[in-house]
Amino acid sequence: MQLSQGSKSLLDLTKKAYKGEVMLPDFQRNFVWTRQDVEELLKSLLEDMFIGTFLVHNVEPSNPPFKTIAIEGAKLVNPDYRANSSLLILDGQQRLSSYFYALYCPETTLKNVSHPYRFFIKIDELLNDNIDDAVFSWSIYYRKYKALLDDDGAYDMQTLKEEKLIPFSFLKDDFTEVWYENYKEDFSDEDGRKIRDYINNVINYNVLTLDVSLGEKPETIAVLFEKINRTGVKLSVFDLLTARLYKFLNLREEWEKSFGEHLNIQKFALDNKRDTTVPYYFIQAIALYEGLSIKARDMLKIDEKHINQKIWEETADVFNDAVLERLLDKNEYGVGDVSKWLPYKPMAVVMLALFKHEEKDIAKINQWYWSSVFGERYAGSTDTKLTKDYKDLMKWFDDDSKVPEVVLEMRNMLFKTFTIKDKKYAGNSVYKGVFNLLFMHDAKDFYENDKLKFSDELDDHHIFPKKYLENKGVEVDWDMVANRTLIGSKTNKRISKKAPGIYLQEMLKNNGNDKKSVKAILEKHFINDAMYKILLSVNENSTKEEITKAFNDFVDHREKIIQNHIANLIGFEETDEDKEN
């Protein structure tokens, strides 16, 4: 990409934004600066300080490469506004919008405030070179601001002069005339020159620009924007594609429609249609299905040959009715609540691409899914892995001998190097995967005769209670998932810091001293008969050494049981070598 250096008048850019000749590409974020941010910018301009380079793109007004949007507030203050942009601001939106806001005073609010604000210069502070206090802002509903207005809502010049204030809105027109007619007589020639010099810094400020020439490819510009975006919020490729494809498909409208029509999609998106991660998954899945790369740079090249309204709607239906109907089923994958129990959201991309095919092997998809969850495959970057897994699964569908690498690796390490004893972070995929298994195996609460999957109030419970271990001075890693399970919140509070043997006795009492019933409950939590006896042996009189040994024996047993469950999920078959080991 060829960029040329230049400079442009900030005031001229602002006046053109007012007319519609300077605009923003639709993928730009909203204007998000606070009034304090605006004040800081204005102070910098008064002192003629560098405010950063603007990246601008020269375009044909009749054929812009992106859908365009107005600078915040421009349409409100200009009743004759007409979009006719010859220049797009790719980087510099917040600064230009702030300058526009201060000068044109639209009836819009800034971030973190509920009313419009107006910006002023305190002349006395300016004369004292106290720039930090020379700029301030008032809400339009503030009594002191209202006191500056006449009966028609315009500024009363006599009041402004008495208060020694200059509204920034005076700077957008011919301030020289305003100065000589209203302010000059109140100041000495020396003070007048000083005031005018400061104000001329604001009026005559030229910003350094990097200019993108006409004819540059839209995808190249979008990638460049993503890299230098200054807003602090990473711009999604979906936003860039929305602007890129606007001539033949409004992706944002299509997404909002899909969101409104599909309940499972709403659950998966956590009821937040503003989060564009999920619709981007749609596009990635479409790309995989079409045999395209899903790297961000390549995704920006997608055009109407690959995606249209019909394809979008079909993809949304498949995702809602086929993929999510399974993925959100606690019996099938043990997820239910996406925010708590879904190990990896991006895996839905592969599943969606696979389910777009009429022929797919659910058993093989499941083996890949659980291998990825317990192998922590998607803990880092995902695009390359998603592409590889999709291709590997498609090959596996056609040839049983071509088992994907991720499945083979999980099968190989399951009983050799894989462990759940070092997993204690609730966001870890192995941690979530173990809890998924609890739902899938119809685990019940310890005290209440109710399945966990029907309860909305669950706690992550330490089987050897943390407080009990602390009180006994036992130094073990009690947070490991091998010592964790899910139970109802009320039950967790009742157990609190009790010794395992004590709350097991209460479980027996609740079940009419029927050991078989209690063991059946515990079995669903991956606690077998040997482990039941270990727990029962630990009470208030147990020594530190006895508790430590019991804890270690317990987690060793539980890890082995969970490994066996995982083995069934990933299609592990014990070989003669495994048996010997």
DSSP for 91-160 reads: E-HHHHHHHHHHHH--S---BT-SS-EEEEEEHHHHHTT-HHHHEEEEETTSHHHHTTB-TTSSB-HHHH
393 shares its domain with 497: no
528 shares its domain with 443: yes
Residues 6 or more apart whose Cβ sits within 8 Å of residue 170: 178
Q: Give the Cα separation of 383 and 393 in Å (integer).
A: 16
Detail the DSSP E strand segments found in 152-272.
165-167, 206-212
Residue 379 confidence (pLDDT): 83
35 shares its domain with 177: yes
Mean pLDDT of 317-340: 94
376 shares its domain with 247: yes
Q: Report if residue 404 sits inside a domain.
A: no
Contact between 99 and 10 under an 8 Å Cβ cutoff? The reply is: yes
24 shares its domain with 124: yes
pTM of the model: 0.68
Q: Give the Cα separation of 112 and 33 in Å (integer).
A: 9
Residue 581 confidence (pLDDT): 41
Percent residues over pLDDT 70 in the chain: 94
Contact between 497 and 465 under an 8 Å Cβ cutoff? The reply is: yes
21 shares its domain with 157: yes
385 shares its domain with 499: no
Q: Report if residue 10 sits inside a domain.
A: yes
Residue 192 confidence (pLDDT): 96
Q: Report if residue 408 sits inside a domain.
A: no
437 shares its domain with 354: no
Domain boundary among 209, 228, 244: 209
Residue 6 confidence (pLDDT): 84
Q: Report if residue 83 sits inside a domain.
A: yes
Closest CA to 474 of 486, 490, 462: 462
394 shares its domain with 455: no
Q: Phi and psi dihedrals of 208, rounded to 5? A: -75, 140
Q: Give the Cα separation of 67 and 241 in Å (integer).
A: 10
Q: Report if residue 407 sits inside a domain.
A: no
Q: Report if residue 201 sits inside a domain.
A: yes
Q: Report if residue 247 sits inside a domain.
A: yes
36 shares its domain with 165: yes
Q: Give the Cα separation of 107 and 40 in Å (integer).
A: 21
Rg (CA), the chain: 33
- pLDDT, tens digit (0-9, with 9 covering 90-100), for 409-443: 999 999 999 999 999 988 899 999 999 999 999 99
| Pairing status of strand 458-462 against strand 484-488 | antiparallel
382 shares its domain with 313: yes
Number of structural domains in the chain:
3
pLDDT of residue 233 exceeding 90 = no
Q: What is the rounded average pLDDT for all residues in the chain?
A: 91
Q: Report if residue 221 sits inside a domain.
A: no
329 shares its domain with 200: no
Question: Cβ-count burial of 256 within 10 angstroms (0-12 exposed, 13-18 middle, 19+ buried)?
Answer: middle
216 or 51: which leads in pLDDT: 51
Contact between 455 and 330 under an 8 Å Cβ cutoff? The reply is: no
543: DSSP letter: -
Residue 282 confidence (pLDDT): 96
- Structural domain harbouring 489: 429-569
Expressed in angstroms, the distance from the first to the final Cα of the chain is: 60
Domain boundary among 377, 398, 419: 398
Residue 498 confidence (pLDDT): 96
Please tell me whether residue 45 adopts helix, strand or coil conformation: helix
Q: Assign 29 a pLDDT band (cuts: 50, 70, 90).
A: low
